[in-house]
Amino acid sequence: MSTSPFTIRIAASSDACGVSDLLKTSYGELLAGHYELALLARALPLISRANPALLNSGRYFVAHDGENRIVGCGGWSLDRPGTGELEGGLAHVRHFATHPSWVRRGVAKALLLRCIRDADAHGARAIEAFSTLAAVDFYAALGFEVIQETKVELTPGLAFPSVRMRRSISSA
């Protein structure tokens, strides 16, 4: 396990391969104990690809270690994932992941706090996450409350169990 610190920066389109690799590694390992393996086998190819629009939004971030390896990623948007709907004052957590060897080292927390600060600066008063079953406790520890259990439709006939969570944003 590396003990080097990490740095956060705004993602760029050139990060696509690194982000996709991280999503595949993170989701493949960290979600395995929370979802049926058959469901993961169908879902992983869809959820473990970097989203070019997010990478180029200026609202998506990567954390990298001292050797410039991406160890975490995540961002936010004003539009609701999957629908593009806008709700005044509401931001949405997008495509978060941490490399399994970097879990519980502050990477995801630092990324999420960066997103919350940025969303606040853009006028958001609350932020929502469609949490995986594996990440509910993480979001709860950072002030998110469960709104409802739900399923995110990845493709027709493929619904991924999720938990919709929300927290207020207060200007600091």
Cβ 46 vs Cβ 155: under 8 Å: yes
Contacts of 139 (CB under 8 A, 6+ apart): 129, 131, 165, 167
- Looking at the predicted structure, is the pLDDT value of residue 18 above 90? yes
Backbone angles phi, psi at 56, to 5 degrees: -100, 5
Query: For residue 69, what pLDDT band results from cuts at 50, 70 and 90?
Result: very high
pLDDT score at 171 = 54
Q: How confident is the model at residue 71 (pLDDT cuts 50, 70, 90)?
A: very high
Q: In what order do the strands lie in the sheet containing 90-98?
A: 7-10, 60-64, 70-77, 90-98, 126-131, 158-168, 145-155
What's the whole-number mean pLDDT along residues 89-116?
Answer: 96
In the chain, the domains with their CATH numbers are: 7-168 (3.40.630.30)
Neighbours of 27 (CB within 10 A): 19
- pTM value is 0.92
pLDDT confidence bin for 170, thresholds 50/70/90: confident
Residue 54: pLDDT over 70: yes
